[in-house]
Amino acid sequence: MVCEKNETVVDVGIPVVMLPQDAGGSLKVSMKNSSHVSIQIYSPKRPLVDVAEVFLWLMAVGTVLCASYWSAWSAREAAIEHDKLLKDGFDEHLTSDTHHSSGLIEINTASAIFFVVFASCFLVMLYKLMSYWFIEILVVVFCIGGVEGLQTCLVAILACFRWFEHAAESFVKIPVLGSVSYLTLAVSPICVAFSVLWAVYRSASIAWIGQDILGIALIITVLQIVRIPNLKVGTVLLSCSFLYDIFWVFLSKRWFHKSVMIVVARGDGSGEDGIPMLLKIPRMFDPWGGFSIIGFGDIIIPGLLVTFSLRYDWLSNKSLKAGYFLWAMLAYGLGLLITYVALNLMDGHGQPALLYIVPFTLGTLIVLANKRGDLKHLWTVGEPYRPCPHVRLQQDEQ
Q: Which residue numbers are catalytic?
A: 245, 298
Best CA proximity match to 134, nearest among 46, 24, 236, 264: 264
Q: How far apart are CA 184 and CA 175, in angstroms?
A: 15
DSSP string, 193-220: HHHHHHHHTTTSTTHHHHHHHHHHHHHH
227 vs 44, 66, 69, 97, 216, CA distance in Å?
47, 15, 13, 17, 17
Beta-carbon contacts of residue 114 (< 8 Å; ≥ 6 apart): none
> What residue ranges in 184-301 does DSSP mark as E strands?
226-227, 278-282, 291-295
Q: Are strands 178-181 and 171-174 parallel, antiparallel or unpaired?
A: antiparallel
Helix segments in 323-353, DSSP class H: 325-345
CA 178 to CA 155: how far, in whole Å?
A: 17
